[in-house]
Amino acid sequence: MRLIISCILTLLVVTIFLFFQFFPLKYYNTVLNYSGNIDPLLVLSVIKVESSFREGVTSVAGAYGLMQLMPETAEWVNKKFKTNYDYTNPQDNIALGCMYLNYLLERDGDIKTALVHYNTGPYAPDNVKLDAGERYVKKIMRYYKVYKMLYGRGGQLPTTNKGGGL
Protein backbone atom coordinates (compact mmCIF):
# COMPACT_ATOMS: atom_id res chain seq x y z
CA MET A 1 0.00 0.00 0.00
CA ARG A 2 2.83 2.39 0.86
CA LEU A 3 4.42 1.67 -2.50
CA ILE A 4 1.22 2.60 -4.34
CA ILE A 5 0.83 5.84 -2.38
CA SER A 6 4.49 6.66 -2.96
CA CYS A 7 4.11 6.07 -6.71
CA ILE A 8 0.97 8.21 -6.88
CA LEU A 9 2.66 11.06 -4.99
CA THR A 10 5.75 10.83 -7.19
CA LEU A 11 3.60 10.92 -10.31
CA LEU A 12 1.71 13.93 -8.95
CA VAL A 13 4.93 15.83 -8.14
CA VAL A 14 6.40 15.04 -11.57
CA THR A 15 3.18 16.16 -13.27
CA ILE A 16 3.12 19.44 -11.36
CA PHE A 17 6.81 19.99 -12.11
CA LEU A 18 6.21 19.43 -15.83
CA PHE A 19 3.30 21.88 -15.84
CA PHE A 20 5.56 24.56 -14.39
CA GLN A 21 8.20 23.73 -17.01
CA PHE A 22 5.72 23.92 -19.90
CA PHE A 23 4.11 27.12 -18.60
CA PRO A 24 7.07 29.24 -17.45
CA LEU A 25 7.15 32.78 -16.16
CA LYS A 26 9.97 33.52 -18.58
CA TYR A 27 10.15 37.25 -19.40
CA TYR A 28 7.59 37.96 -16.68
CA ASN A 29 9.22 41.24 -15.59
CA THR A 30 9.30 42.50 -19.17
CA VAL A 31 5.69 41.46 -19.68
CA LEU A 32 4.72 43.14 -16.41
CA ASN A 33 6.37 46.39 -17.55
CA TYR A 34 4.52 46.48 -20.88
CA SER A 35 1.25 44.60 -20.40
CA GLY A 36 -0.74 47.76 -19.67
CA ASN A 37 -4.43 46.91 -19.18
CA ILE A 38 -3.92 43.24 -19.94
CA ASP A 39 -3.21 40.59 -17.32
CA PRO A 40 0.47 39.63 -17.66
CA LEU A 41 -0.51 35.95 -17.45
CA LEU A 42 -2.68 36.43 -20.52
CA VAL A 43 0.29 37.98 -22.36
CA LEU A 44 2.39 34.97 -21.33
CA SER A 45 -0.36 32.77 -22.76
CA VAL A 46 -0.09 34.65 -26.06
CA ILE A 47 3.68 34.15 -26.07
CA LYS A 48 3.24 30.46 -25.28
CA VAL A 49 0.84 30.01 -28.20
CA GLU A 50 2.72 32.24 -30.63
CA SER A 51 6.29 31.05 -30.11
CA SER A 52 6.54 28.67 -27.14
CA PHE A 53 9.04 31.19 -25.77
CA ARG A 54 11.47 30.67 -28.67
CA GLU A 55 13.05 34.08 -29.25
CA GLY A 56 14.13 33.97 -32.88
CA VAL A 57 11.36 31.89 -34.40
CA THR A 58 9.90 33.04 -37.72
CA SER A 59 6.55 31.82 -39.05
CA VAL A 60 5.95 30.81 -42.65
CA ALA A 61 4.01 34.08 -43.01
CA GLY A 62 7.04 36.08 -41.82
CA ALA A 63 5.95 36.88 -38.25
CA TYR A 64 8.93 37.07 -35.92
CA GLY A 65 9.87 36.56 -32.30
CA LEU A 66 8.20 35.78 -29.03
CA MET A 67 4.94 37.52 -29.91
CA GLN A 68 5.15 36.70 -33.63
CA LEU A 69 4.95 40.22 -34.99
CA MET A 70 4.86 40.93 -38.68
CA PRO A 71 7.60 43.45 -39.56
CA GLU A 72 4.96 45.77 -41.03
CA THR A 73 2.92 45.63 -37.83
CA ALA A 74 6.00 46.39 -35.71
CA GLU A 75 6.76 49.36 -37.95
CA TRP A 76 3.17 50.59 -37.72
CA VAL A 77 3.15 50.30 -33.90
CA ASN A 78 6.45 52.18 -33.66
CA LYS A 79 5.03 55.00 -35.79
CA LYS A 80 1.66 55.06 -34.03
CA PHE A 81 3.19 55.30 -30.55
CA LYS A 82 6.31 57.23 -31.54
CA THR A 83 8.70 54.55 -30.31
CA ASN A 84 11.72 52.92 -31.84
CA TYR A 85 11.60 49.31 -30.65
CA ASP A 86 13.41 46.60 -32.58
CA TYR A 87 11.03 43.70 -33.11
CA THR A 88 14.01 41.31 -33.41
CA ASN A 89 15.02 42.04 -29.80
CA PRO A 90 13.05 39.77 -27.39
CA GLN A 91 12.19 42.51 -24.87
CA ASP A 92 11.28 44.96 -27.62
CA ASN A 93 9.19 42.29 -29.33
CA ILE A 94 7.21 41.92 -26.11
CA ALA A 95 6.87 45.70 -25.78
CA LEU A 96 5.56 46.02 -29.36
CA GLY A 97 3.25 43.02 -29.01
CA CYS A 98 1.78 44.38 -25.76
CA MET A 99 1.34 47.85 -27.25
CA TYR A 100 -0.44 46.38 -30.26
CA LEU A 101 -2.65 44.10 -28.16
CA ASN A 102 -3.58 47.00 -25.85
CA TYR A 103 -4.35 49.13 -28.91
CA LEU A 104 -6.62 46.37 -30.26
CA LEU A 105 -8.30 46.00 -26.86
CA GLU A 106 -9.03 49.72 -26.74
CA ARG A 107 -10.25 49.72 -30.34
CA ASP A 108 -12.35 46.55 -30.19
CA GLY A 109 -13.68 46.83 -26.65
CA ASP A 110 -13.06 43.26 -25.50
CA ILE A 111 -10.06 40.99 -25.24
CA LYS A 112 -11.46 38.09 -27.25
CA THR A 113 -12.07 40.27 -30.32
CA ALA A 114 -8.67 41.89 -29.80
CA LEU A 115 -7.04 38.45 -29.72
CA VAL A 116 -8.80 37.41 -32.91
CA HIS A 117 -7.51 40.57 -34.59
CA TYR A 118 -4.04 40.04 -33.14
CA ASN A 119 -3.97 36.61 -34.75
CA THR A 120 -5.69 37.21 -38.08
CA GLY A 121 -5.16 40.91 -38.57
CA PRO A 122 -8.01 43.38 -38.07
CA TYR A 123 -8.96 43.40 -41.75
CA ALA A 124 -9.01 39.65 -42.37
CA PRO A 125 -12.15 38.21 -43.98
CA ASP A 126 -14.90 37.22 -41.55
CA ASN A 127 -14.57 33.51 -42.39
CA VAL A 128 -10.89 33.61 -41.36
CA LYS A 129 -11.74 35.44 -38.14
CA LEU A 130 -14.46 32.90 -37.33
CA ASP A 131 -12.34 29.86 -38.09
CA ALA A 132 -8.68 30.51 -37.31
CA GLY A 133 -9.37 33.39 -34.95
CA GLU A 134 -11.80 31.48 -32.77
CA ARG A 135 -9.50 28.44 -32.54
CA TYR A 136 -6.68 30.78 -31.55
CA VAL A 137 -8.74 32.42 -28.81
CA LYS A 138 -9.80 29.04 -27.40
CA LYS A 139 -6.17 27.95 -27.20
CA ILE A 140 -5.10 31.21 -25.55
CA MET A 141 -7.92 30.92 -23.00
CA ARG A 142 -6.99 27.28 -22.23
CA TYR A 143 -3.39 28.31 -21.58
CA TYR A 144 -4.54 31.34 -19.59
CA LYS A 145 -6.55 29.06 -17.28
CA VAL A 146 -3.47 26.91 -16.74
CA TYR A 147 -1.32 29.97 -15.97
CA LYS A 148 -3.91 31.24 -13.47
CA MET A 149 -4.14 27.80 -11.88
CA LEU A 150 -0.35 27.47 -11.56
CA TYR A 151 0.50 30.97 -10.44
CA GLY A 152 -2.73 32.07 -8.78
CA ARG A 153 -2.76 35.54 -10.26
CA GLY A 154 -5.03 37.37 -12.61
CA GLY A 155 -8.65 38.17 -12.41
CA GLN A 156 -11.28 38.93 -14.95
CA LEU A 157 -10.48 39.44 -18.59
CA PRO A 158 -10.07 43.08 -19.52
CA THR A 159 -12.66 45.01 -21.46
CA THR A 160 -13.22 48.65 -22.17
CA ASN A 161 -16.44 50.59 -21.81
CA LYS A 162 -16.63 50.57 -25.58
CA GLY A 163 -17.58 46.88 -25.57
CA GLY A 164 -19.94 47.00 -22.63
CA GLY A 165 -17.07 46.15 -20.28
CA LEU A 166 -17.00 44.78 -16.81
Catalytic residue positions, numbered = 50
C-alpha distances (whole Å) from 98 to each of 13, 19, 75, 95, 102 are 34, 25, 14, 5, 6
Judged by DSSP in three states, 64 sits in strand
Distance CA 60, CA 25 (A): 27
Amino acid, res. 18: L
Distance CA 47, CA 115 (A): 12
C-alpha distances (whole Å) from 65 to each of 7, 88, 120 are 40, 6, 17
